[in-house]
Every structure is written in structure tokens, then in C-alpha cells.
Chain A
Amino acid sequence: MARVTIEQLGKRFGGETVIDHVSLDVKEGEFVTLLGPSGCGKTTTLRIVAGFLSPDTGCVCFNGADVTRVPTQKRRLGMVFQDYALFPHLNVADNVGFALRASGTPKADIGRRVRDLLALIRLPSVGDRFPAELSGGQQQRIAIARALAHTPAVLLMDEPLGALDLKLREAMQNELHAIQRQLGITTIYVTHDQEEALSLSDRIALMRRGKIEQLGTPKEIYGRPATPFSAFFLGKINFLAGKLQNVYKNTYVVATERGIVRAPVRPDAAFTVGDEVLIAVRPEHLRIANPGARGDVSSDLVNSLKGRVLRQKFIGKVLQFEVEVTEGRTFVIDGSVDWVSEPGSAIEVTWNVAATNLYPFAIDPEIGVDEVRTPQGDPAVRASTGEGRIVPAARATA
């Protein structure tokens, strides 16, 4: 087992910065996931740790020893690839025992180790079959066994479940988790699948544009996303632009086009009155109320916005409502199946002030915060090009 330290890693391809000063410390036995959209640099980072690429700047250390210039074959790694990369000309037993054969381990020892590993992945009787004769899930389990045969110090996984279908992926997630816990092997896992990252990882390094956007446990990142992108990438999020009007009793008061929204003051994010802000709230925190049903919607603890149900979508365990809260801007609400709100009906969307997050407003089309549509042609607000989805609060209301 080893501790992996990545320091100030940088890599450019053809003038384009792929990763930009990435630092990460993976503790012994820890399962860390590099999560992010394609092109965020997660795979490049992993390939540098594997030794397939050498970084332009920075270094990779295993247990404090710099291995940046050590060739791959001397790094004592195990790796699982998305396309399995099993050797087509060798049967399963020879695939699993490959590392041991390459290092000249006696035949009897190889045989014993291969049997143990095939038992570990619960495929004890496929030793003489060839990879092409096995299903995708089986092949990936063989690939995991092969990666573990030489008791590597670090296990690297590059989207290992990406080629499997949904059901199989879930089963393999559990299996991976169990194997990793059982062996306690330091693991760096790359994926773009947020659910996989949430359910498997001890910590997640959420990456974007070659940088680590947020590093933390799944609960931390999901519950307290540090940036709008973090909020957007892990789970679902609703955004609404506004302008900070007041700070009152540990609560920010934000003016939006449809009224006042409150958000708790948190120590890690400070705003001053007049700031353009982005309100973020998760679908599962939202509730639907009939207008006038509660006299109390202006309470200090609950936010409320008027809206109109656009459509409802049954997605299994929840009924998802799309509610238009301002023109062109919809909120997604995870509701229960017994809520009755016909499309077109006017409702109120309510949620706890504590569940509200605030971020500085910045245009970011990738996460649905795009070009601004100005209600009153305020010169300070950019003019719309195309379909704007975020409408910041009209200045007149401030």
C-alpha cells in the first residue's frame, strides 16, 4: 500500500493546457475519485500517475519518493482500463497470472495466486477460457483480478465501468467497493459518472478545465458545493440569479425578479450588498404549495416563489415537476407521486432557507447559467443573444 502525492502537476498538449497545477494527496488505502466532464484532465492526471505521460511541471510521489521519472513497469501499479485491455491471445488464467510470469515467479505460485484471485472475483471456473468468450462484466472482473495479481501498491482505474450497462454497472460498483475494502489498496478512480463517484469514493476530486474544482468527501461536495459547477455536476440543481439587497440576522436577502429569496450567511462565502449572486437549491429540497394555502410563506425560515407547473414527469421513485418561476426559467422539483398539480396550475414553490446556497454570479453556459436577458435594457446588464435562461433581478426592485 502506498500513499500517493501529486504536486503542482501541469501538462500541455499542443499549446493547450490540459491540466494546470493539480495537487492531490491520496492517503494509504484511500479510494479517491477524479470526477469531471470529458476534457477536464482527469484521465491525463491518471496517465501521469501511471507513467504513460510525463508532466511538464510538478511531480508524483509514492510514499514520499519521487517517481515522476520512474518508468511505468517499475512503479508497482495495477490498472483497470475501460476497454479491459485483456490479452486476446492468452486464456483467463494466463491473463491474470501475466504480471507474475513476467517477473519470473515459479509456476506453482502463479497457479495458486490465480486460483485465489479468480475466487476473489467469484469466477473460479473460467481459467481456461479466452477473454472473447466472456461477457463484458466478466471480462472486467478478470481485468481487476489481473491488476491485483502482483499485489500492486496503488490501483488505478480509468472509467472501468463505462462500457457496461446500467444494471451490471451497479452490481460491479458493489463488487469493486467490496474488493477495495477487503484489500485496503490505495485506489485512484477516474469517472465522469457522478453516482459512481458518490457511492464508491472516500473522497472526490471534482475537476474542471484542468483544475481541481473541489476536493472533499461525497457528502461534503454534495451538501456544500463550493462552486456553481460543483453543485451542477453532482446531483441536480436549480439556479436563479438575483441581487443582494440586505444582510439581516445572519441571513442574506436577495432580490430576484419574482420576489425575495433568503439564504443563510456562511463563513466560507461573504457577499456585500449590491452583489450579483446566483441562488442554488436542489430539487429534493423544494416543495409545492397551493397559493394562499399557507399564510406563512413569507416566514424567515422558508423561501417561496410563485410559479406555474409546466409539466410533470414520472421517473420512478419520484414525480418530477417542472415549474416555471420566471419567464424562460424553470425549476425542477422532486415531488412525491401523490402530489396533485396539473400542468398549467399556478402554485408556490417553497423551500427551507437553510437549503439555499449563494454563489457570485458569473455567466457559464455549460452549467445552464448563460447570457443574460435584460428586462429593462439596463446598460449594466448584457443584452441577450438567443435563449437566455437566467434572468437576474431587475435593478428597479433593488
Chain B
Amino acid sequence: MRTDIIRRRIAYSILLAAYAFLISPLIVVAAASLDTGSTFAARFPPLTVGLRWYLEIPGKYWQALSVSLTAAAIASVISGALGVMAALGIVRGKVPGTELLRAFFRIPLQIPLVVTGVVFLQFYYGFQTLVGLELAATLPGLIIAYVFVGTPYTVGTVAALLERLSPRLDEAAAILGCSRWQTFWLVTFPIIRPSLIAGMLYAFVVAFGDVPLSIFLSSPSYTTLPVEIFQTLQFDFNPTVLAVSTLVAVMSVISLWMIQRLVGLDMVPR
């Protein structure tokens, strides 16, 4: 009995240590953002507590935040749609070389994001000279790039689920009078929805937090939040950046929790 208790305590301590290690940077930033005194460096632990920096967050952060949210949200929806189609094709399609296709859809994950950024920038410049349409430092330009890096996640999560699904389900639906379209909406889609949402969430998070790719595709007047924070930290530190970072972290936790409650990220088909 005693050894049992000791073992459990050791396990708990390891767990706590792991959590502490993961969360402590966030705690430091959040605590430092509450310090109302220091203006030139983060101070931890804070000496005074107040919301001064939250009230002084400059408008450019809000604007950058809205760019980031819009681009990441639209990109994750497009990634989701493309991911479902690609996964259906890879898993269910009777096309030769599905393994090759699968590898093809993983490529964006294997290219360093900096390289992807350079490629997209060059591509957009070339596109502009050829067609005359400006994509660099625009919303569509960001969305296209985010879709590129986000789709592998949706393809991956949806394909993983489709693979475990009995192909008889589609046949059963057809026998019961469903056209292919009805089969998709009444059977396939409801079953893959949790994994689709999980994949879209990955795509969103990757896009929303991205610096290396976005830094090439933004300009001083049109930029995303992580790039803005990055620039601030690099060139002129201001404690408001701590406040913004904390806000984003808190928002992420809340939205993740809500998604978990509403659709469940780990729900697998029974």
C-alpha cells in the first residue's frame, strides 16, 4: 500500500513538473504584463499590479489581430474543404498511386517555412508582373499561403479517420436509397466532422501563429499580429506587447475549450 502511494505521488510530481515547464513562460509573460512600472523591459515578478498596458495597447495591434484572425479563419475553412476532398480521393478513390499523392500532400510540412515564404514572395512578384494582380501583403496573398501550409493537417486528420471507417457504410447508405451526394451529407460528413474540425484547428493555429512565412508576405502597413509582435520585440520594446501576447494566449485557451465542449476534438466514431 505504501509503495502504491509513493508511486502515485512520484507520478503526480512528474506531471506537475511537466506542466510547470510548459506553462511557466506564459505565466512569466502574463505576470510581467500586469506590472505597471517598468517601460523598457519585462519585469518578473511584477512589483505593482494593474491593467495599464492593456489600456494602452496601440491600435496597430488590433488591426494586425484582425488581419491574422481573418486570414487564418478563411484559410482554415478552405484547407478544410480541400482536405476533405483530398482525403476522400486518397482513401476511397480508385486512382493509382495514392501513396504518391499522400506524400505529395505532406510536402508543405517538409519545406522550411522560411523557404516557403521566399517562394511565395517570388511567385507573387512574378504573378504581379505577368497578370498585374498584387498578392504580396494582401489578404488573398496571406490566405493562399496559409492554405498551402494548413491543408496537410486537414488531409492528415480526415484521411486517418476515413481509413478506419468501414467502406460498407457507403454501400449501406446506397442500398437504403441515398445518392452519393446524400451519402456524403448524411453519413460521411457527420462521421468525419470531429476530425475535420481538429484538422482545421491545426491549420488555423499554424496560420495564426506564423512568423517565418508571414514576414515575407506583409508590409509595414499590412501585417499580421505575430509579425507585429516580432517587430516590436526586435526594434522597440514596449510592455503593451506583453499585454497583447497574454490576451492572445487567453483567447486561444477559451476558444479551444469552447470547441472541445461544442464538438469534441477527440471524439472518434463509435
Using a CB–CB cutoff of 8 Å, the interface residues on chain A facing chain B are: 50-52, 71-74, 77-79, 81, 83, 85-89, 98-99, 101-103, 130-133, 146-147, 149-150, 156
Contact = CB atoms under 8 A, between A and B. Distances in A.
Contacts of A88: 191, 269-270
Contacts of A133: 270
B169 to A, nearest CB: 5
A102 B171 contact: no
B179 A132 contact: no
Contacts of B41: none
A81 B190 contact: no
A73 B187 contact: no
Interface in B218-270: 269-270
B179 A73 contact: yes
Given A72-B174, A77-B175, 18 more contacts: A50-B171, A51-B174, A71-B174, A71-B179, A72-B175, A73-B177, A79-B172, A81-B168, A83-B168, A87-B169, A87-B191, A89-B190, A89-B270, A98-B176, A99-B177, A102-B182, A133-B270, A156-B175
A103 B175 CA distance: 12
B270 A102 contact: no
Contacts of A83: 166, 168
Contacts of A71: 174, 179
Nearest to B168: A85
Contact of A147 (B169, B175, B178, B190): B175
Contacts of A50: 171, 175
A102 B177 contact: yes
Given A73-B178, A73-B179, A87 B168 contact: no
B186 interface: yes
6 contacts: A85-B169, A87-B172, A89-B187, A133-B270, A147-B175, A149-B176
Closest 4 CB pairs of A and B: A132-B270, A85-B168, A99-B176, A88-B269
A78 B177 CA distance: 10
B171 to A, nearest CB: 6
Interface of B: 166, 168-169, 171-179, 182, 186-187, 190-191, 269-270
Q: Which of A50, A73, A149 has the most CB of B within 10 A?
A: A73
A98 B182 CA distance: 11
Given A88-B269, A89-B191, A81 B176 contact: no
Given A73-B178, A147-B175, A102 B168 contact: no
A147 B191 CA distance: 21
A79 B171 contact: yes
A156 B191 CA distance: 25
Nearest to B269: A88
A102 B175 contact: no
Contacts of A147: 175
A88 B192 CA distance: 11
Contacts of A79: 171-172, 175
A85 B166 contact: yes
Contact of A146 (B176, B179, B191): B176
A52 B269 contact: no
B84 to A, nearest CB: 16
A85 B174 CA distance: 12
Given A87-B187, A130-B270, A72 B171 contact: yes
B171 A81 contact: yes
Nearest to A132: B270
Contacts of A102: 173, 176-178, 182, 186
A88 B169 CA distance: 9
Contacts of B270: 88-89, 130-133
B125 to A, nearest CB: 47
Nearest to B192: A89
Contacts of B269: 88-89
B177 A103 contact: yes
Contacts of A149: 176
B177 A52 contact: no
Nearest to A158: B168
A85 B172 contact: yes
B161 to A, nearest CB: 11
B25 to A, nearest CB: 40
A10 to B, nearest CB: 21
A147 B270 CA distance: 20
Contact of B172 (A81, A89, A101): A81
